[in-house]
Amino acid sequence: MTVTSPEAPRRPAPKPVDREKLQRRAVWLMFSFVVLTLAAVTVFRLSGAEPIAQPPTTAIAAERLVLLERPERNGPVFVRDAETGRLMARSDRNKNGFIDVIGRVVDRQRLVDGTDPDAPLRVVRFDSGRISLIDVDSGRRIEITGHGSENVAAFARLLDR
């Protein structure tokens, strides 16, 4: 049987946590991370390197030039065939609400870029099944495929008409 004496050494009590010092360190680390991220992005942009997160381009299976029209500021978007002017879809019918969202994104980006607000867009289906919307004027590309099956279907219907 082991007997412990009452005078056995005890562990020292933990030091109290200096919360102010801990908070200052956390803020300093967050600030450092932001500065490091901005520096990395700046170097990348100034070097002229190409973006690497773009999907590989495969052969085009189908494409169509369309015009997005919004006659009223808060009204629906009308999608017309750029060649014939035929109305192909409205954003307020048949689960086409995503067309309205994309229309607003395109309008905003064109305003920022200073490009023609009435330029046509290319709706493209690649062999891989991926669907993209390409702004003819600026070359900007919106990948539709990652936005859910109903949203992809809204743009796929434009190619099937």
pLDDT tens digit sequence for 6-48:
666 777 777 777 888 888 989 999 999 999 999 998 998 888 8
- pTM beyond 0.75: no
- Per-residue pLDDT at 60 exceeds 70: yes
Report the distance separating Cα 92 and Cα 75, nearest Å: 9
Spans of all domains in the chain: 21-52, 60-160
**Residues across the chain:** 161
DSSP labels for 128-139? TS-EEEEETTT-
Question: What number is the average pLDDT over the span 67-83?
Answer: 87
DSSP 48: T
Task: Tell me the one-letter amino acid at 134.
Answer: I
Q: Which residues pair with 65 in a beta bridge?
A: 122
Listed in sequence order, the DSSP H helices in the chain are 19-47, 97-113, 149-160
Predicted confidence band at 102 (pLDDT cuts at 50, 70, 90)?
confident
Task: Tell me the one-letter amino acid at 121.
Answer: L
Report the distance separating Cα 130 and Cα 123, nearest Å: 11
pLDDT value, residue 3: 56
